[in-house]
Structure 1
Amino acid sequence: MTGSGEQANDDQVPAWARKTAGESRWAATAAVVAIILIQYYLPSQFTLGPRLLIPGLGLALMLVLIAASPFRIDREEVWLRRASLFLTAVLSVAVAWSVDRLVIGLVDGSVSNDAAGLLVSGGAIWLTNVLVFGLAYWEFDRGGPAARAHARKQYPDFLFVQMQSPAAADPEWEPQFPDYLYLSFTNAAAFSPTDVMPMSRWAKFLMMIQSGISLITMSLVIARAINVLK
C-alpha cells in the first residue's frame, strides 16, 4: 500500500519538480555545433586567436561530453560538470570577443564598408549571442541538466509558464534546451523578459547582460549598414 501511495504522489508532482530520466543531449549539441561553425566562418577580425582555436577546443570538449554521456544527461560526476561549464565558458569568451571586435570596429570605422557583409557578420554574431546565452541559462538553471534530472533543487531560477499554470500543461513537461533557447531569443529580441521570469539574482544579471549586448550589437550594426547604403 505504501508503494502505491508513493507512486500516486509522484504522479501528482510535475516532472520538472521530481526525478526524471534526464534530457536528451542532442538539442544542446546542435547548438554547440552551430556556434562552432559560425566561429569558423566568421571573418578573422571577429575571431579570437587562430581560426581553428575556438572551433577545435569546442569540438574536443563536446566529443568528450558525448562519449561520457551519449544519450541522456543524468550523470552527476564532478569532472563532467566542470567540462560542460568549461565548454560554455570557452564559447562565451569567443562571443564576447566577437562582440567587442565588432563594436570597436564600428566605432573607429575599421569595419568593412560592405553593407551586406556587415549585416551578415553582425547577424551571425547576434545569433551566436542567442545560442551561447541559451546554453548558459540551460547550464545554470537549478544546477544544470543533470541536477534537474535528479530534482536536486526545489526552487527554479527561471519560472516558465508551465510552472505557473500546471493545470494547462502536460504533467510530464520539464524545461529542456529548446525552452532555454526560446528564453534567450526573446530576451535578445525584446531586450526584456517575455513569458519566462528570472527568479534568482544571477538569472536577472545574466539576462541584463544579454539584453545590453544585443541592444548595442543590433543598433550599431543597423546604423552602420544604413549609413553605408546611403
Structure 2
Amino acid sequence: MDDPHAPGSDHDTSQAQASPDQERRAETRWPALTGLVVALALYALVSNPGTAALRYLAIALVLLILLPLFVLNPHRLSRETQWSRWMSIVLTSLLVVANQINVLSVIGELLSGTANGPRVLLTALQVWVTNVIAFGLLYWDLDRGGPVARGTLSRDQLPPADFAFPQDDHRDAVVEVTRQSSQRGDWRPGFVDYLYVSLTNMMAFSPTDAMPLRTRTKMFMAVQALTGFILLALVISRAVNILG
C-alpha cells in the first residue's frame, strides 16, 4: 500500500483535514519555527564575504518556501497536502545543504591559518550551532512521515520510523515511566526531541538518545557527526595556536 505521506506517492493531493481530536494532538508549529529563525539569523550573521551571495539566496528561498507552509498550518501542524510535504522536505534539505557549504568554507579557513583568529572561531561556532538546528529540523521532518503524520495518524497508519526513542521501549517499566511511553501513553516525538538527538550527535559523534533505524538516517547522522568532529578538531587546533 502506498504511503500517503511519502513524496511521490499517488495518493489524493487534496488537503488532509484533521478531526477535532487530531487537531488538539497535533504538534504546535512554534518550537520548530523558533529553531528555524535562530538558524537563519546565525546563518545570515556569518562573517564570510565569500559565501554571502549564496547565504542570502538560501535565506530568501527558505523564507519563500516557508510562507505557504505557514499559511496552511499557522498554529498547529494538522493539515498536509502532497505539495506541502514536498516543500517542507525541500526547505529543511536546503538549510542543511547550504550550511554544509558554510562548513566547508570554515574548514578551509581553519586549515589555511591566514584568517583572523577570533573571527574564524566565532564563525565556526555559528556554523556549528546552525548545523545542530538544521539537522534537527531534517530529522523532525523525515521521521515517521513528518510532524503532520505523527500528530494526526493512528500508529498503524504511520510510515516506518527513522528513530527508536527510549519512550518506544518503556511499556514494561514502572507506572510513572510507562505513562510517558509510546504504547501506553501515546507519546510521540516533537521538534525538541529531534533537536536533542541532533545536539548529542554533534557532541558525542554517535547516537546517545535515539537510535537510527533506517539507512538514510544513519547516513545523515554520519555526515553530521563527521562535520562536527572535523570542526571541533580544527577549532581546538586553531585555539591552541592563537593562545600559544
Identify the match of residue 25 of structure 1 among 24, 29, 34: 29
Please give the TM-score of this superposition, normalised by the length of structure 1. 0.84
Q: Is the CA contact (8 Å cut-off) linking 1:48 and 1:98 kept in structure 2? A: no
Q: Is the CA contact (8 Å cut-off) linking 2:106 and 2:120 kept in structure 1? A: no
Whether 2:194 is the aligned partner of 1:180: answer yes
SS across alignment from 1:49: helix
Identify the match of residue 49 of structure 1 among 40, 48, 53: 53
Identity of aligned residues (%): 37
Q: Is the CA contact (8 Å cut-off) linking 1:29 and 1:62 kept in structure 2? A: no
Identify the match of residue 212 of structure 1 among 223, 226, 230: 226
Q: Is the CA contact (8 Å cut-off) linking 1:130 and 1:184 kept in structure 2? A: yes
Identify the match of residue 94 of structure 2 among 90, 93, 96: 90
Whether 2:126 is the aligned partner of 1:124: answer yes
Whether 2:202 is the aligned partner of 1:223: answer no
Please give the TM-score of this superposition, normalised by the length of structure 2. 0.80
Aligned residues: 211
Q: Is there any run of 5+ residues in structure 1 with no aligned partner, and where?
A: 1-18
SS across alignment from 2:187: coil
Distance 1:87 1:188 in 2: 21
The Cα of 1:155 is off from its aligned counterpart by: 3.9
**Cα RMSD (Å) of the superposition?**
2.0
The Cα of 1:208 is off from its aligned counterpart by: 1.1
Q: Deviations over 1:21-55 (max 9, x none)?
A: 32111111011101110111111346352553222
Moved more, 56-65 or 46-55: 46-55
Distance 2:197 2:54 in 1: 32
Distance 1:44 1:188 in 2: 23
Greater relative contact order, per chain length (Cα 8 Å cut-off, separation 6+): 1
Identify the match of residue 105 of structure 1 among 106, 109, 117: 109
What are the equivalent positions in structure 2 for 1:32-43 lying under 5 Å apart?
32-43=36-47
Q: Which residue of 2 aligns with 1:3?
A: none
Q: Which residue of 2 aligns with 1:8?
A: none
